[in-house]
Chains A and B, each alone.
Chain A
Amino acid sequence: MPSFTLLAQSVLSGIFVGGLYGLLGLGLSLSWGLLRLINLAHFALAFLGAYLTYTVSSVFGLDPLWSLLIVPPAFFGLGVLGQALFARFGVTQFGSLLVTFGLTVIIESLIQWIWTADYRRLESAYGTASWRAGGLFVPKAELFALAAAVLLAVLTWAWLRFTWVGKGLRACAEDPQVAAAFGVNHRRLALALSGLGAAFAGVAGAFVALIYTLAPSQIYAWIGVVFAAVILGGLGNPLGPLIAGVAIGVTEALTMALIAPAWAPLVSFTLLILLLLLRPDRV
């Protein structure tokens, strides 16, 4: 049985990694729940953001967090463009999965072409900096990532909850034609939401670069667990992926500490299956 400190440290790191799951899941959940598009390319976009952050820091010698000023706004534009194309071709929910699968592979190839398939590690002050709190290590970069995840989730939640935009989007998700008949401009809302989702991918990417070693194939490693968080959290609910992500992260960390690291990837899968079996109406 591991010591109490070790367990507490496990729980803490689980919370941090869960924050990152939530950050990556936020944009996915919004586009799936409110636009009825499953955007697999979200992960590739996040990694593109991570590599750009890497370049900002290692090539231009800037603080990596500067990339937050450049990458998310640029990605917002990409998201708007993507949604415009999806709308133009009338892509269905299932079609979107295939199309963004193709897009993911294109972005992965692009990354491999520019940055090669070798592992890249961003060397920065954030990589090693940490605080100590009562015998526990609190790494700085991961704390920032968690803060960003909470901030974006709460702001998005408030935006959808307290403005007419949220009601309009939810109405469109239910029935776009009826919503349009009541005067909701679905097109413009969808463009904004898709742009926002892509910008969130950029933010998530910056923190991925700070915390992890990068390789193009790593894009796929996140898909399972983040989608589990999105589905567990309830589609279209901005707070859902974060809460579910933290729950998965903590469970994974405890599995690693108490059982064996090899079994941690099974956690999200098991939770997802359990939810689907016990509460199928949630999805």
Chain B
Amino acid sequence: MRRPRVAPAVLLTVGLGLLLLPAARVPAFYESFLYLVFHWVALASSWGILSGFSGYFSFGHGAFFGAGMYATATLLSAGLPFLPTLPLAGLAAALFGMGMGAVVFRVRRLRGELFALLTLAVTFVFATIVLNTRIDGGPGVYLSAVPLPRLAGSATATLYLLALGIALVTVGTAYAVYHARWGAGLFAIHDDEDVAEVLGVPTYRYKLLALGLSSGLAGVAGGIHSMFVTYVTVAETFSIVVPLYVVLMSVLGGARHWLGPAIGAALVTVLMYGVTGGQTAVAGRAAVGLTLMLAVLFLPEGITGFLTRRRSARPVVTTLDMAQPVLAVAWNRPSRVAGSTLLVCDDVRKTFRGVRALGGVSLDVREGEILGLVGPNGSGKSTLINVVSGHHRADGGRIVVGGVDLAGLEAHEIARLGVSRTYQIPRPFAQLTVRDNVAVAGMFGRLVRDRRAAEREAGRWLEFTGLADRAHMLPAALNLHQRKFLELARALASEPRLVLLDEVLSGLTPSEIADATRLVREIRERGATVVFVEHIMRAVVALADRIVVLDAGQVMASGAPQDIVRHPDVVRRYLGKAHA
């Protein structure tokens, strides 16, 4: 992501150079062959924009491709000239994709396998409808009589140029998305969608737009292809070939990289060239199936994944601007009246399938304070954090942050208000480096930074939490203590107003606890308000300005630490003996 960007420049030069190929009057065979290469590059790369980046593997790319093919075929039959049908084909496919996405992305559980199966099913449902309605009706659509505009010397050259164009546009789009905030958000969705949403990534919108872009580009490629085949049939258009090939090409090339699907596409098309026609075509398809199996088993990250991993295995020098004193990272305090109320929970209720987790919790948190939230296991502490951060939706009551009622807000909108949180069991994005984990948080949330600024800021937060030397490792290389601090760095990167800490101290050694306690104090010094859930009473008493005790989903007591530890109910129900 940070390497000198040679590859795109080289690709662009080669791509523009290829535009001149028809002028060289090469035999039409080469143009046809390269047409197929570009056709698959466009299809596979467009697939990668949603499926490769966000991990929502679609087996339904054939449906979008087919929507484009039939859109162009229908419009041509209605007498429209060829070129104007192409954007319309893209539009039709994009609308189809987004219409489907608008429904299925609403379903929180519809991830991974279910999405893949559903998209596969949609293809066949769509094919049946096309076959049984006037769109096709059964016999297929002949386009051989349609005139092809002459962009170049011959019809083949024209199609070649169009395919090259859509391939360049698609790879360019994949490159742009990959390097934008949008791409960072999609990668976060790939690893842990819930966490991405809570950090401020508008997951629904991002997925929907990625699907729209992906299906729209596939639709344009389909529109071009309808004139390449000149005879459009349901059986050919919606066969398993398109979804199979794009998945294979992307898995082989590396679905997580912007160029991966294109590399896989070029490779597979060239390999398949030898086995077209007759019985060998059947054997060729079997070989494709076998390659897919072997690639999944032995090369799960694809060619680009394999190459980039070998690269990043080299030692990395952290380039942090050491002249900048780390402790000066105070974020601009939001204009505020000291001691005014930042968070109000009023009669908040939450029930899980009949189990009451919160039975009407009311509490206030004042700006700039550190509030300790304690109580027995199952008393509703974590649920309260989950509800305030938008991870769960409250069943009743009112939650107000800085004067804004959270009712009806999505988790990412709550993050935008300046609420951030950590997870009791750390949930890092497993396939992003430690620095990118923090950078994603800095790109979304209260501050909306561009990618480069967020990556720079991330370095500071890693320094703050003592993780700077791990910046380029994957989270799997961190121990529990470091993962908890990564959670902290991620929660702080968006410079939130309200930080919710869910048991950051549990499982740490005494000296690590001392480090963490110091960090929490510093967080407050920098202008944030802190609510933290904790069981280690010594730390709570040392840190908190005020303590709220929850029991069975209700507030049992609240007040200054020294009063709480002597509160008779708290002692009896929770502490077991008088503390301090």
Do chains A and B stick together as partners? yes
A residues with a Cβ closer than 8 A to B are 38, 89, 91, 93-95, 97-99, 101-106, 108-110, 112-113, 217, 220-221, 223-225, 227-228, 231, 260-263, 265-266, 268-269, 272-273, 276-277, 280-281, 283
Q: Considering the chains assembled together, what is the distance between the CA atoms of A214 and B298 in angstroms?
A: 35
Q: A224-B121, A227-B121 are in contact. Are A97 and B113 (CB under 8 A)?
A: yes
**In the assembled complex, which residues on chain B have CB atoms less than 8 Å from the CB atom of A108?**
240, 285
Contact of B116 among A97, A273, A283 (CB under 8 A): A97
**In the assembled complex, which residues on chain B have CB atoms less than 8 Å from the CB atom of A101?**
59, 244, 247, 289, 292
Q: A99-B293, A227-B117, A276-B107 are in contact. Are A105 and B124 (CB under 8 A)?
A: no
Contact B124 A110 (CB under 8 A): no
Contact of B293 among A102, A109, A263, A265 (CB under 8 A): A102
Q: Considering the chains assembled together, what is the distance between the CA atoms of A91 and B118 in angstroms?
A: 21
Instruction: Determine how close the nearest CB of chain A comes to the CB of B480; give it in whole angstroms.
Output: 19
- What is the 8 Å Cβ interface bit string for chain B, positions 290-301, against chain A (1 contact, 0 not)? 111100110010
Contact B292 A113 (CB under 8 A): no
Contact of A276 among B109, B120, B240, B296 (CB under 8 A): B109
Q: A98-B292, A224-B125, A266-B125 are in contact. Are A38 and B113 (CB under 8 A)?
A: yes
Contact B120 A224 (CB under 8 A): yes
Contact A105 B247 (CB under 8 A): no
Instruction: Determine how close the nearest CB of chain B comes to the CB of A116; give it in whole angstroms.
Output: 9
Q: Is B122 an interface residue (CB 8 A)?
A: yes
Tier of interface size on chain B? 35 or more
Q: Considering the chains assembled together, what is the distance between the CA atoms of A27 and B235 in angstroms?
A: 28
**In the assembled complex, which residues on chain A have CB atoms less than 8 Å from the CB atom of B112?**
93-94
- What is the 8 Å Cβ interface bit string for chain B, positions 115-134, against chain A (1 contact, 0 not)? 01110111011001100110
Contact A109 B125 (CB under 8 A): no
**In the assembled complex, which residues on chain A have CB atoms less than 8 Å from the CB atom of B279?**
113
Q: Considering the chains assembled together, what is the distance between the CA atoms of A94 and B55 in angstroms?
A: 10
User: Which chain A residue has the least Cβ–Cβ distance from B296?
Assistant: A98
Contact of B108 among A104, A261, A280 (CB under 8 A): A280
Contact B118 A272 (CB under 8 A): yes
Contact B300 A95 (CB under 8 A): yes
Chief secondary structure at chain B's binding surface: helix
Instruction: Determine how close the nearest CB of chain A comes to the CB of B51; give it in whole angstroms.
Output: 12
8 chain-A/chain-B pairs, Cβ below 8 angstroms: A97-B113, A98-B296, A102-B289, A102-B291, A109-B283, A280-B109, A280-B110, A281-B109
Other than A101-B59, A265-B125, give 17 A-B pairs with Cβ distance below 8 A: A38-B113, A97-B57, A97-B113, A98-B247, A102-B288, A102-B289, A102-B290, A105-B292, A106-B286, A113-B286, A223-B117, A224-B121, A228-B121, A265-B129, A276-B107, A276-B110, A280-B108
Q: Is B482 an interface residue (CB 8 A)?
A: no
Q: Considering the chains assembled together, what is the distance between the CA atoms of A82 and B270 in angstroms?
A: 31
Contact A105 B286 (CB under 8 A): yes
Q: A97-B113, A104-B289, A106-B286 are in contact. Are A91 and B125 (CB under 8 A)?
A: no
Instruction: Determine how close the nearest CB of chain B comes to the CB of A174; give it in whole angstroms.
Output: 18
Instruction: Determine how close the nearest CB of chain B comes to the CB of A232; give it in whole angstroms.
Output: 12
Q: A95-B296, A101-B244 are in contact. Are A109 and B107 (CB under 8 A)?
A: no
Contact B282 A112 (CB under 8 A): yes
Q: Considering the chains assembled together, what is the distance between the CA atoms of A276 and B113 in angstroms?
A: 14
Contact of A262 among B103, B107, B129, B286 (CB under 8 A): B129
Q: Which of B104, B120, B125, B353 has the most CB of A within 10 A?
A: B125
Q: Is B433 an interface residue (CB 8 A)?
A: no
